[in-house]
Amino acid sequence: MTAEGTQHMREQLDQDYQRWSTAAAAVLAKGRRVDPADLPDTPEALLSTPTRDDVVVRPLYTRKDEDGERGLPGSFPFVRGADPQRDVQQGWRVTERFGDLPGQSAADLNEAILEAASSGASGAWLSVTGDADLATMLTGIYLDLLPVTLDAGADGIAAAQRFVQVLADRPAPPQEAPLTASTTHSLGLSPYTAAFSGRPTVAVDEAVAVAAAAPERVRTFRVDGTDFAQSGATNAQEIGLLVAAGLAHVRDLVAAGLTPAQALGQLTFAVSVGDDQFASIAKLRALRLMWARVAQVLGVPDAGAALTHAVTDLSMLTQRDPWVNMLRTTVAAFGAGVGGADQVTVLGFDAALPVQARSSSPTFSARIARNTQLLLLEESNVGRVLDPAGGSWFVEDLTSDLAAAGWQVFTQVESLGGYTQALAEIRTWIAQALAARDEAVAHRTAPITGVSEFPNLGEAAFAEALADTTDLPTATAGLARVARRFEELRDRADAAAVRPSVLLLPLGSVAEHNGRTTFVANLLAAGGIEAVNPGPMTAEGVAQAADGAGTVAVLCGTKARYGTDGPAVLAAARAAGLDRVLLAGPAAEWPDGEDAPDGSLRVGIDAVATLTELLDTITAQAGE
């Protein structure tokens, strides 16, 4: 295109954007009942959404946001994927986890792996001990086709040596499949990220010695982002710390005599993926971009392909209404596949529950997790196109912004002397990120379906409080699940001899009060409290409704109805022995000069603190 043509196109884009902006301002002004000129900011700013990393997601992306080409999959800077030879008929590797159930023998695990492989699994993630009989476990497995990842904790060195021996002793296949990013084995040693989370691990120098002798098809180190994600890290923190820990491994390996290219070839990355599909897509792409930059600085850009194993984030899974987790993990798996992960593991929908507390059979949970990926691959054909999000103005922009935010985290670590020197600061950063996330969850600006929104009080209660447990396969000691604070309230309410309840006092017709009675009932149920709704209420009916209903009530109605009927109903409620009467909606809606309710339940409150206080009040009164 000529310079004149380019200038004309830019002018046209500016005009189109201005027309959109004018139209959007008119709609926003109408909703706020103001003149467009009186809006507090531009339509773009008003409609933009900041992420936990302060990356701004704008409402509209156009050709004005177009970046240059990112290169081809398998070539520098590897944004579009690490593997130039991926079989689009197969897509990514469906990697299933084995060995977490108690009492399984090596023969049992071998049978489970073969059964899963015949049902669509194409990778194995093995939880094993140092004396595990890996030869028996992997009998009948073509190890040039099915990649294996080990998870042996403190026994990692012994397990790695056994696996290398199994590789050396395996029968030669009829035809050796070529080595690709997707068929690379990982010994799973992650001493640096485990040092953050407290998982059992191995000594760094012993792991370096294993890496120096690792055969082809095997990578020693697994730089594990789930260690950070489970503790509440943001996406940018996770990938920034992955790069920092990965570089620390590379430095160790180079110091041991490996070339930079050889050192880079000894790492794989585990990346958590959550229920924000675009964030997951961009996170995987941004990590590859960042790692390629590290390789470029080391002078070996062509060795900078980050091999990624995406794992659905355990911290996003709920214990309450766990069936909703199937939706969360489906979205996460979609993001992982579109984002170009080489392997993907979908955790079971009940993975947030201890094994002994699960109501579904392990085979059912595993089958659902496996089939989640197979439906994406074989029915939705998500794997048939490499980097299907490539070229999307939004995804490309989000990739760049997230990479920049992650790089800032990485450079902060480097400025403190590197990963190991910065661990104390890293813990502080992630603790702050967790506190901010917990605050958003408590205020329900980050809603959790089935827990903080649309909870099901009819669920069977757990025999014991489970919300804060970390006794879970794949969990770290620092696991902080997103839903845990609301689920602690549910555990507490379920443990009461009688279900805690609050009386609703609806004012006016159903049409008038239904919105607020529904809101209040949903809010109370999030804390395990039942809302008792006797229907439209007058001052004369309060005494009968309050009989045996406890001592807490909520007035529900419109502002106009509060002005006409509210004071009389409130007086009747106090006379009937209801010690605490709350208002549904802003306190400012209550008429001036009247005896006011004792608080309000409205959008934006700290729901966890409010529900905790209500449970304290109700249980104290029940005890009295």
Measured from the Cβ of residue 260, the count of other Cβ atoms closer than 10 Å reads 19
Interatomic CA distance for residues 520 and 502, integer angstroms: 10
Q: What is the mean pLDDT of residues 380-403?
A: 95
CB 113 within 8 A of CB 124: yes
CA nearest to 320, candidates 540, 512, 502, 494: 494
Q: Which pLDDT does position 68 carry in this prediction?
A: 80
Q: Which pLDDT does position 505 carry in this prediction?
A: 97
pLDDT of 5 > 90? The answer is no
Q: Which domains does the chain have, with CATH numbers?
A: 93-425 (3.20.20.240), 496-623 (3.40.50.280)
| HSE, side-chain direction, 13 A CA sphere, residue 167 | 23
Q: Which pLDDT does position 549 carry in this prediction?
A: 77
Per the prediction, the chain carries an average pLDDT of 94
DSSP state of 232: T
67-101 per-position pLDDT tens digit: 888 889 999 999 999 998 888 889 999 999 999 99
Q: Which pLDDT does position 306 carry in this prediction?
A: 97
Q: What is the mean pLDDT of residues 416-437?
A: 98
100-137 per-position pLDDT tens digit: 998 899 999 999 999 999 999 999 999 999 899 999 99
Q: Cα–Cα–Cα angle for 430, 315, 614, nearest 5°?
A: 90
pLDDT of 623 > 70? The answer is no
Secondary structure, 3-state, 281-305 = HHHHHHHHHHHHHHHHHCCCHHHCC
| HSE, side-chain direction, 13 A CA sphere, residue 473 | 22
316-357 per-position pLDDT tens digit: 999 999 999 999 999 999 999 999 999 999 999 999 999 999
Q: How far is CA 83 from the centre of its chain?
A: 25
435-490 per-position pLDDT tens digit: 999 999 999 999 999 999 999 999 988 988 999 999 999 999 999 999 999 999 99
pLDDT of 624 > 70? The answer is no
DSSP codes, 472-506: STT--TT---TTHHHHHHHHHHHHSSS--EEEEEE
192-204 per-position pLDDT tens digit: 999 999 999 999 9
Q: How far is CA 200 from the centre of its chain?
A: 23
Three-state DSSP class for 123? strand
552-588 per-position pLDDT tens digit: 999 999 999 999 999 999 999 999 999 999 999 999 9
Three-state DSSP class for 223? strand
Three-state DSSP class for 611? helix
Q: Which pLDDT does position 425 carry in this prediction?
A: 98
pLDDT of 142 > 80? The answer is yes
CB 454 within 8 A of CB 522: yes
CA nearest to 276, candidates 46, 49, 603: 49
pLDDT band (50, 70, 90) for residue 209? very high
Three-state DSSP class for 371? helix
pLDDT of 284 > 60? The answer is yes
The residues with which 555 forms a beta bridge, in sequence order, are: 505, 583
Q: Which pLDDT does position 609 carry in this prediction?
A: 97
Q: What is the mean pLDDT of residues 603-608?
A: 96
Q: Which pLDDT does position 86 carry in this prediction?
A: 87
| HSE, side-chain direction, 13 A CA sphere, residue 505 | 35
Q: Which pLDDT does position 63 carry in this prediction?
A: 85
Measured from the Cβ of residue 514, the count of other Cβ atoms closer than 10 Å reads 14
CA nearest to 279, candidates 334, 242, 219, 197: 334
CA nearest to 506, candidates 573, 420, 411: 573
Q: Which pLDDT does position 1 carry in this prediction?
A: 59
CB 283 within 8 A of CB 234: no
pLDDT of 427 > 60? The answer is yes
pLDDT of 154 > 80? The answer is yes
Q: Which pLDDT does position 621 carry in this prediction?
A: 74
Three-state DSSP class for 403? helix
Enumerate helices (H) and strands (E) in the chain, giving the number of each.
Answer: 21, 15
